[in-house]
Amino acid sequence: MTIAHDDFRLDAAAPTMQTMTMAAALNLALADAIREDSNVVVFGEDVGALGGVFRITDGLTERFGEERCFDTPLAESGIVGTAVGMAMNGMRPVIEMQFDAFALPAFEQIVSHVAKIGNRTRGSMRMPLVIRIPFGGGIGGVEHHCDSSEAYYAHTPGLTVVSPSTPQDAYSMLRAAIASPDPVIFLEPKKLYWSKGEVDTSLTHDLGTARIAREGTDVTVLAYAAMVPVALEAAEIAASEGRSVQVIDVRSLSPFDDKLVTAAVRATGRAVVVAEAPGYVSVASEIQARVFERCFEYLEAPVRRVTGFDTPFAPPKLEHFYLPDADRILDAIDSLHFTESDEES
């Protein structure tokens, strides 16, 4: 089904500020990108008639036609590998991996080709493709549906790895990812798909930047994705106990915003890194190491990590034991060598 051009303009003329879920914000970002650039195509498993298992691509095939949003055979390496070829030939594919662990058959394509073709060809071929991966737990999903694979991707030179925690960032970051000349691993925290917030479609985003989610002076909590609301909850509780907690939404896992994070931790002198992935050899470890290297002389206490355990992701009925919660973050904050004079200040 084709939509007349005027309909698009009607859409574009709609109010740019509205409250919506993260899922709706992502859907809007895809629709706006498809409309604005004829090279943008969306494909994957079940993204067409069904609109994706999380409905992120809802209505796109209906609105823009099969050429712009289509289902593929069930084959993740095939989805990524053909997206590579399309990007080589001037298109901007935005592909969906359905669930985090389902992306693993495509890992070779992502690491060996998506990440490297620009470098291999000295920049003459770029890879402007976006790989959307619903990731993380907290939704009661069964095995292979709740993994946190961000460290694998962040470890790979050439990949930009980002994860939004608000509908606003979901919209602006996905638009920026699609516009980027470099390949972006776009991690969507499943737990936050249905969280609501205001979205201003005129706001742009510079990938590679962190965001101060809450101001505070005693300690900096660094979190990303579904852990940001948990960190904010902990900060709220801490505030009721008289402690001022700053929360930073890291949101760009690679590259990392050293500038903002370093300045923030130097100002508070204490830091806790929160992530739901296993902590061993993780993005949280990397953030912790960077903060130590850059802020050591300003620190009042060791930088602590609060992460998932080094176990395979928990079965649904045990996941609440696995996932970091506000209490675990508050315990970590309490261990940061606060003295009575700190409490008073």
Partner 1 sequence: MQDHLLPRDVPVCLIEKDGTARGDAQYRMPDADHLLDAYRALVEGRRINDQASALVRQGRLAVYPSSHGQEACQVAASLVLGERDWLFPTYRDSVAVMGRGVSPADAMVLLAGDWHSGYDPAEHRVAPQSTPLATQLLHAVGFAQAAKHRGEDTVVLALCGDGATSEGDFHEAMNFAAVFHVPVVFFVQNNEFAISVPLSRQTASPSLAHKAIGYGMPGQRVDGNDVAAVLAVLGEAVDRARAGGGPSLVEAHTYRMQAHTNADDDTRYRERDEVRAWIDRDPLTRMRAYLTASGALDAHAEEQIAAGAETIAAELRAALNADAELDPEDLFRFVTAKRSPQLEEQWELLRGEIARAAASDMSTAGGSR
Residues tagged active-site: 145
Locate 177 and state its tokens: 């990812």
Pick the closest to residue 97 from 115, 80, 111, 83 (CA basis): 80
Per rule CB under 8 A, is residue 164 in the interface with partner 1? no
Q: What CA–CA distance (Å, rounded) separates 268 from 222?
A: 12
Q: Which segment (18-26, 161-169, 254-262, 263-271) binds partner 1 by CB under 8 A? A: 254-262
* C-beta separation of 43 from 75 below 8 A: no
Nearest to 217 by CA among 242, 237, 240: 242
Nearest CA among 314, 338, 224 for reference residue 273: 224
- Among the listed ranges 89-97, 161-169, 187-195, 197-205, the one in contact with partner 1 (CB under 8 A) is 89-97
Asked if residue 125 binds partner 1 (CB under 8 A), the reply is yes
* Residue among 37, 108, 198, 310 that touches partner 1 (CB under 8 A): 108
Rounded to an integer, what distance in angstroms lies between the CA atom of residue 238 and that of residue 67?
Answer: 52
Question: Which residue, 256 or 313, has its beta carbon nearer to partner 1?
Answer: 256
Q: Can you say how many angstroms the Cα of residue 278 is from the centroid of all Cα atoms in its chain?
A: 17
Q: Which of residues 256-275 bind partner 1 (CB under 8 A)?
A: 256, 258-259
Q: Which of 46, 182, 233, 342 binds partner 1 (CB under 8 A)?
A: 182
User: Which member of 5, 15, 124, 341 binds partner 1 (CB under 8 A)?
Assistant: 124
For partner 1, the binding residue among 19, 59, 85, 331 (CB under 8 A) is 85
Separation between Cα atoms, residue 143 and residue 37, nearest integer Å? 37
- Residue 69 β-bridge partners: 42
Tokens of 334: 């309490």
By the rule CB under 8 A, 312 interacts with partner 1? no
Residues 288-323 as b or e (16 or more Cβ within 10 Å = b):
bebbeebbeeebebebbbbbbeeeebbeeeebeebb
Pattern 185-224, partner 1, x by CB under 8 A: -----------------------x----------------
49 touches partner 1 (CB under 8 A): no
Residue 105 lies near partner 1 (rule: CB under 8 A): yes
Per rule CB under 8 A, is residue 52 in the interface with partner 1?
no
- Contact with partner 1 (CB under 8 A): which of 78, 104, 244, 266? 78
Q: Are 81 and 109 in contact (CB under 8 A)?
A: yes
46 binding partner 1? (CB under 8 A): no
Q: Report yes or no: 76 and 106 within 8 Å, Cβ to Cβ.
A: yes
Binding footprint of partner 1 on the chain (CB under 8 A): 41, 67, 72-73, 75, 77-78, 80-91, 93, 105, 108-109, 112-113, 116-126, 157-158, 160, 180-182, 208, 254-256, 258-259
